[in-house]
A and B are shown apart, each in its own frame.
Chain A
Amino acid sequence: MENPRNVGSQVGESDMECSDNDNDCFDDDDYYNAVDDNDIEQIDPCKLDPENFNYQCLGEEQVERLLNESVEYLSYNLKITPSLAKVLLLSHQWRVNKIIEKYRKDASDLLITSRIKPPVTPPSLPVSRYITCPVCVIPQPSEKFFSLSCAHLFCKDCWVTHFEVQINQGISTAISCMARDCVVLAPEDFVLKHLSRPNLREKYQQFTFQDYVKSHPELRFCPGPNCPIVVHSSENKAKRAICSNCKTVFCFQCGMDYHAPTECSIIKKWLTKCADDSETANYISAHTKDCPECHICIEKNGGCNHMQCYNCKHDFCWMCLGDWKSHGSEYYECSRYRENPNIAHESVHAQAREALKKYLHYYERWENHSKSLKLEEQTLENLRSRINQKVMAGVGTWIDWQYLFTAASLLAKCRYTLQYTYPYAYYMDVGPRKELFEYQQAQLEAEIENLSWKIERAETTDRGDLENQMDIAEKRRTTLLKDFLDF
Chain B
Amino acid sequence: MAALPRRIIKETQRLMQEPVPGISAVPDDSNARYFHVIVTGPEDSPFEGGLFKLELFLPEDYPMSAPKVRFITKIYHPNIDRLGRICLDILKDKWSPALQIRTVLLSIQALLSAPNPDDPLANDVAELWKVNESEAIRNAKEWTRRYAMDN
Contacts and interface: CB of A to CB of B under 8 A. Distances in A.
User: Is the A/B pair a real complex?
Assistant: yes
Interface of A: 134-138, 158, 161-162, 164-166, 178-182
Given A161-B61, A162-B64, A165-B61, A181 B96 contact: yes
B5, B63, B98, B99 pick with most chain A CB within 10 angstroms: B98
A181 B99 CA distance: 10
A134 B98 contact: yes
Contacts, number: 34
A180 B6 contact: no
A258 B29 CA distance: 60
A162 B97 contact: yes
Nearest to A171: B93
A165 B98 CA distance: 15
A165 to B, nearest CB: 4
B6 A136 contact: yes
A182 B65 CA distance: 16
B10 A135 contact: no
Enumerate the 10 nearest inter-chain pairs by beta-carbon distance, A residue then B residue, closest first: A165-B64, A180-B96, A178-B97, A135-B97, A180-B98, A165-B61, A137-B10, A137-B7, A134-B98, A179-B98
Nearest to B64: A165
Contacts of A162: 64, 97
A129 B58 CA distance: 32
Contacts of A165: 61, 64-65
A137 B14 CA distance: 13
B34 to A, nearest CB: 20
Given A162-B64, A165-B65, A178 B7 contact: no
Contact of B98 (A161, A164, A178): A178
B99 to A, nearest CB: 6
B102 to A, nearest CB: 12
Contact of B96 (A138, A161, A164, A179): A179
B5 A182 contact: no
A137 B10 CA distance: 8
A180 B99 contact: yes
17 contacts: A134-B98, A135-B7, A135-B63, A135-B97, A136-B5, A137-B6, A158-B64, A161-B61, A161-B64, A165-B65, A166-B64, A179-B98, A180-B96, A180-B99, A180-B103, A181-B96, A182-B96
A194 B43 CA distance: 48
A138 B6 contact: yes
A178 B96 CA distance: 6
Contacts of A137: 6-7, 10
